[in-house]
Every structure is written in structure tokens, then in C-alpha cells.
Amino acid sequence: MSRDRKLVVFPILVVAGLFAACGTPGHEGGTGGSGQGAGGSDFDGGGAAAADGSAAGSGAAGADGGRGGASGGGGSAGAGAGLIGSAGSSGGPSTCVPPTSSASGGACGSIPDNCGGTLLCGACTGGKVCDPKQRICVDRMTACGAANASCGSLADACGGAIDCGGCQAGQVCNGAMRQCQDCVKKTCEGKCGTISDGCGGTLDCPGCADGMVCDTINKTCTPCATTTCDAAGAACGAISNGCGMTLTCGAACASGQTCLGNVCRPVPPPAECTRRGKNCGTISNACTGASVNCGTCPMGEICIDNVCKSCVPKTCAELELGCGPASDGCGGTLMCGACPSETLCYNNKCCRPTTCAAQGKNCGTIGDGCGGTLDCGTCQSAGETCGGSGTANVCGVCTPRTCGPTNCGSMSDGCGGQLDCGTCQTAGETCGGSGTANVCGVCPKRSCAADSCGVISDGCGGTLDCGMCAGSDAAVTVCYQEKCCVPQTCDSLGKNCGDVGDGCGGTLHCGSCTGTGETCGGSGTANICGVCTPRASCPAGWSCGTSPDGCGGPAIACGTCDATQVCKTDHTCCTKTTCQAGGKSCGVVPDGCGGSIVCGNAGACADPSDVCLPNGTCCTPLTCMTTCSYSGPDGCGGVISCPPCGPR
């Protein structure tokens, strides 16, 4: 049956029992009203009323916490409601009422809010992932186990990857089944040249017969038929020239594009952005809470609520700006003119600076109200200081503070001098003993706890002797960090070689290994004798560099990278980017492989008067050569202050 999801508001509307919770399945609702109408499913409750006007229809609550089905026009409300879904409403289809995220029990991810938006149910923390079916936070391996995945990755509720581990040496992960299986090496059948054997190694296959050449891309023998990038429709990347050589087509793709099928195409947005209908700015992943960059908007559009929308530039008048440069709200810059003489441009408004006299100030430094400062001089009368009377930037005589009956020690008199308030006279009191500086009080001393030992501080400048720890033949107790401590033994720790700590500041010598081929920790557990089994191959995913064999033997070679690539610290080959490919014209920027590249003229812009912005692009700043009576941003991250304009 087709279902109409249009929202129509009728004169009389009753919505009964509507509430929702993220990720909790609904139960079946009660009986629907009469009239003709159909409910939805998934997040809209099902159920259709009878078409002949009798009270025969029934409405079920929606799955996953949705709304109950609506009864037909003129019908009565359905009796009862689902656990989560609402009962049917009377008088036609219901209006849209978004649910709330009142989820409990670790709900996560996001669901439609029934109104064209998205309800965020919370992110998982503590290393947990959002289960794609139940939308609850679970351990990574619990999610993998539920999907019967022992290797590879599966998608969480937000389309992100859940790592289900790798396979041991000699096995590969079947991506379709997510199960480890023995690696079966490929053969040279139908191939030529050097190819991968599918198990981390390579195969040297025979050459081609006379009149045939080995295609450098697909490694098959073909007749020589020379082609070009244009003829093959390749705008980027590498292709075969048809005669055993490789062609590099075009320049690197522009920023925001990638080479797919030898054609530059926009980089696909992250799955979380697509799933939530966002195409710009930064959002939080509904499952992990991590930031996700959804891209930038093209010229003439701006990002509003993470969606690109067309933009109409503002004018200086619309923004009520009187001077200087300003943003037009669409990525452009407005020039809003200069100010009359004796005024300055401050925050895009013409501003007349104030004076010390106008502010009633006669000393020190104050702001002029236009981003500058005023020097209001110094106090000249005997005994006066700036602010001495209690009012800032006004000359006055300061009245010194005196010592109170409980004050002690040296303290400020509030006027630049010092007071000597003497010592405490009451027995047991010290200066600051109660915790307040320059006030006499009694310091509360510590006492020895039941497990204290040795000489400890009493918290009031003295010491306490808490004695030695009691010992016996069964347990020798020592004093460690002011507490009595029973040292561990090699046996109690389960160790049989090497040195380990005894837990009380000492060291245990657990001997050496005597078995044939055994070393201390050789089995993989520290301070346990065992035989070390060398690793036979590089870890899964390593394609370059070397790997230790785990037993101190010769390193294992994991392969080499092409001449245009570098081997990253994660042992994968990486092709460095270029300044041109990244759209950078200055500065030092990441090369995409863990290093950096210097762009422009040794990092500077080609024009010495330009400024290199943090994003690696050059900016021409506003200068006083082209404007006057202006103080404010120069448009390139700096600030200028220009003299007043001359007579007009």
C-alpha cells in the first residue's frame, strides 16, 4: 500500500501520548478511529482506518520509537498506544512534532526526527562504539562478535569503521565474510612482468611472445597499439601507452578533487555528512563525538547550519558601517569609506576620541574610546598618588592601613609602604597558623595513623616520630613512603628471571633461565623464562621498511616504495603532495606523508609586500598609502593606524 507523508493541519487536531526515545523499539498500539487514512512505518506508526467510516481500523506504534498512526478524516481517536508510539489522532493526518532525545541505556548515533531533521542520541565514550543495529554503545569486540567478524572492519551506526582486527602470518582477511583464511598465492597464468602474489610477496612472470608487449597497468600481453592521454580520455593519473610504457596524464587534481578512473572528481564527502544531509562546515560524529569536516561552499554561497545556501552580499548601508573595510557576508570585502578630520575609524564606525578632562581624570593612562590611549600626566601635590583617594586615574592622598589586634608579621599598608605587626603572644599561636596570612592562629597538627612509620611532618613546621613497623618470621614489614609495607617475593609475583620491584621500594633478583634456548621474557611475558619464536613475515599492512623478528635476529624486509614515494612511520608507501596541488603559495605546509614542503619564495610570498597567511596563501594588506583617518584591521591579520586625511 502506498503511504502519503504530506503534513496537513486540520481545524481540529488531537495528538495523544506522543513521545519518543532514541533506539527503543515500539510496541503495538491500540485500535484506530474510523475514516480513511494510513500510517507510516519505521519512524511513523502504522495502521489504516476502515474506508467505510466504521471503527474497524487499527494503528500500531512505529518501530524504533516512532509516532502512532493517524486515523482518517472525521474518525475517532484510536484506543491505547504503543510503548513508544502514540495513539491515533482524530480528524485527519497529524502535524509534525519532533521527538526529544530522552534516551536511556546508552543510546547513541542519530535517527530521523519525523520532521525532516535528525535527532542526535549521543556519542560513545571510553573506547566504545555505536552498534549499527541496536544503536547502543558496546565494546569494539562485542560489536565485531555480534556481526561474526574476526578481522577487517564493519560500519558503525554512523557509517564509520569499527576495526575487528587482523590475521596472523600466512593468513588474509576475507573482506566479504570478515573471516581470516589461509592465503593462496596467485599464479602467473595470463600475466606478464612482476606482479603481486596476493600474500605480501611478488611473482616474476614470463615475458611476452614476439610482436606482443606487456601492458604496464594490467600486466597482460597485448599487441602494440600506441595511445595518448587525450585519446584515452585520461585527465589525471597513470595509464598504459599501449606499447609497454606508462603515461602520466595531466597535472595533479585541484584542491577538493581526487583522481578517480583517470578523471578529476570531487572528493566524496564523509559518510556522516551525507547521512545527515550536510555539505559544509564542521559537525560532530553522532557515534564518536569526533569532528567531521563536510567541506566548503562554492563562490556565491555561504554555510548556514552546515548546508550551502545562496548568498546576497550586504552593503555598507545595510550593515550600518561608516568606514573602513568589512566583510560583505558572502566572502567578499566592502570598503566603507574614510572618516572626517579629527575622527578615527574604529570597529567600522567613525569615532571622536575623548580627552582626560572630559573623563574627569588627571593622572595615569586611560583609553580614548577609539582604540587608542591617553596620558593624563602625574600627580604634583605633596602626598598625592594616582588613585590614592580610591578613584582610578584621579590624584589623591592615600590613607595607610594599620595593624589589627590579631595581625602579625609584615604586610602592606595599602599605600606602597610596609607594616610590621609583630609576633603572636598567645601560647600555641603562630602567624598564619589558622590558614589566614598575617593573622595569629593555632595550627592543627597531624597525628600518626595506624599504618604510619618513621619520622613525618606534623603539618605545622615540626615532625612526628611514628616508630618502626612490626615484623615477624612470616612477613618482614618495612617502612616505605611513611607507610608500613610488606615486600613481594619472586614466587608471589610469579616471576622466575631478571630483576623486578618488590612493591616497597626494593628490588628482587629472580635468577636466570637455564632451559635450552630460553631467554628471560622470551615467551612474551616479562620476567618469565621461555623460548622466543621469531616472526616469519612483516605485520599485515606493512609494505615498506623493515620489521624486527621479535627475537633479536636480523630484521625482516617489508618491501620498497616507488621513486616518487616515501615510507611512512606506519610502514606504508605515501606519495608526497605539492604546493600547486594543495593550492599553497607560501609558508611551510604538510606534504601529506608526515613531512613538510616549503612553498613560494623560500616560504615567503612572491611579492615582498604580501603577507603569508596561516592557510598557506598570500594576502595583500590594506596600507596607509591607499587610505587615511583609519585605524583597524589591515585585512591580512594585522592592524594599521593611519593619520587623518588632509583638507578636501
Q: What is the pLDDT of residue 638?
A: 66
Q: What is the pLDDT of residue 50?
A: 32
Q: What is the pLDDT of residue 460?
A: 80
Q: What is the pLDDT of residue 171?
A: 67
The per-residue pLDDT for range 210-260, each reduced to its tens digit, is 889 999 888 999 999 999 999 988 989 889 998 889 999 988 888 777 787
Taking residues 111-136, report their average pLDDT.
79
Comparing 58-72, 159-173, 176-190, 237-251, which segment has the lowest mean pLDDT? 58-72
Q: Using the predicted structure, report yes or no on whether residue 71 has a pLDDT greater than 60.
A: no
| Cα-only R_g, the chain | 39
Question: pLDDT band at 185, cuts 50/70/90?
Answer: confident
Q: Using the predicted structure, report yes or no on whether residue 125 has a pLDDT greater than 90.
A: no
Q: What share of the chain has pLDDT > 70, as a percent?
A: 76
Q: What is the pLDDT of residue 585?
A: 77
User: Which residues, at least 6 apart from 17, have a Cβ–Cβ distance to it below 8 Å?
Assistant: 68, 81, 86, 87
The per-residue pLDDT for range 463-479, each reduced to its tens digit, is 899 988 876 544 678 89
What does the alpha-carbon distance between residue 620 and residue 634 come to, in Å, rounded to a whole number?
Answer: 9
Q: Using the predicted structure, report yes or no on whether residue 500 has a pLDDT greater than 90.
A: yes
Q: What is the pLDDT of residue 43?
A: 33
140 sits in which H/E element: helix 140-146
Q: Tell me the CA distances in angstroms from 408 to 413, 462, 496, 522, one per residue in order.
A: 13, 20, 63, 67
Q: What share of the chain is helix, strand, coil (3-state, %, to 5)?
A: 5, 25, 70
Question: pLDDT band at 8, cuts 50/70/90?
Answer: very low
DSSP string, 378-422: ---STTEEETTTSSTTSEEE-------TTB-SEEE-SSS-EEE--
> Could you tell me if 273 and 292 are in contact, meaning their C-beta atoms sit under 8 angstroms apart?
yes
Q: What is the pLDDT of residue 549?
A: 82
Which of 178-182, 214-218, 347-351, 562-566 is the most confident on average?
Answer: 347-351
Q: What is the pLDDT of residue 126?
A: 83
Cell numbers at residue 260, please? 578517480
What does the alpha-carbon distance between residue 64 and residue 43 come to, in Å, rounded to a whole number?
Answer: 6
> Could you tell me if 257 and 266 are in contact, meaning their C-beta atoms sit under 8 angstroms apart?
yes
The per-residue pLDDT for range 287-333, each reduced to its tens digit, is 888 888 888 887 777 888 888 888 888 899 988 999 999 988 777 78
What does the alpha-carbon distance between residue 151 and residue 177 come to, in Å, rounded to a whole number?
Answer: 9
Q: Using the predicted structure, report yes or no on whether residue 82 has a pLDDT greater than 70.
A: no
Burial 323-350 (b: 16+ CB within 10 A, else e): bbbbebeeeeebebebbeeebbbbebbb
Q: What is the pLDDT of residue 176?
A: 64
Q: What share of the chain has pLDDT > 90, as a percent?
A: 23
Q: Which residues of 176-218 form beta strands (DSSP E)? A: 179-182, 193-196, 202-205, 212-214
Cell numbers at residue 62, please? 512505529
Question: pLDDT band at 420, cuts 50/70/90?
Answer: very high
Cell numbers at residue 215, please? 601492458
What does the alpha-carbon distance between residue 242 and residue 436 come to, in Å, rounded to a whole number?
Answer: 89
pTM of the model: 0.34
> Could you tell me if 642 and 630 are in contact, meaning their C-beta atoms sit under 8 angstroms apart?
yes
More confident residue, 326 or 118: 326
The per-residue pLDDT for range 276-288, each reduced to its tens digit, is 888 888 998 888 8
In three-state secondary structure terms, 361 is coil
In three-state secondary structure terms, 145 is helix
Question: pLDDT band at 394, cuts 50/70/90?
Answer: very high
DSSP string, 276-322: TT--SSEEE-TTT--EEE---PPTTEEEETTEEEE-----TTTTT--
Cell numbers at residue 406, please? 590579631
Q: What is the pLDDT of residue 635?
A: 61
Q: What is the pLDDT of residue 621?
A: 72
The per-residue pLDDT for range 359-385, each reduced to its tens digit, is 999 999 999 999 999 999 999 988 888
The per-residue pLDDT for range 549-559, each reduced to its tens digit, is 877 778 899 99
Q: What is the pLDDT of residue 14?
A: 31
The answer to whether the Cα torsion of 282, 283, 289, 293 is positive or negative is negative
More confident residue, 481 or 524: 481
Q: Using the predicted structure, report yes or no on whether residue 421 has a pLDDT greater than 90.
A: yes
Q: Using the predicted structure, report yes or no on whether residue 26 has a pLDDT greater than 50.
A: no
Average pLDDT score over the chain: 76
Question: pLDDT band at 533, cuts 50/70/90?
Answer: confident
More confident residue, 449 or 181: 449
> Could you tell me if 598 and 585 are in contact, meaning their C-beta atoms sit under 8 angstroms apart?
no
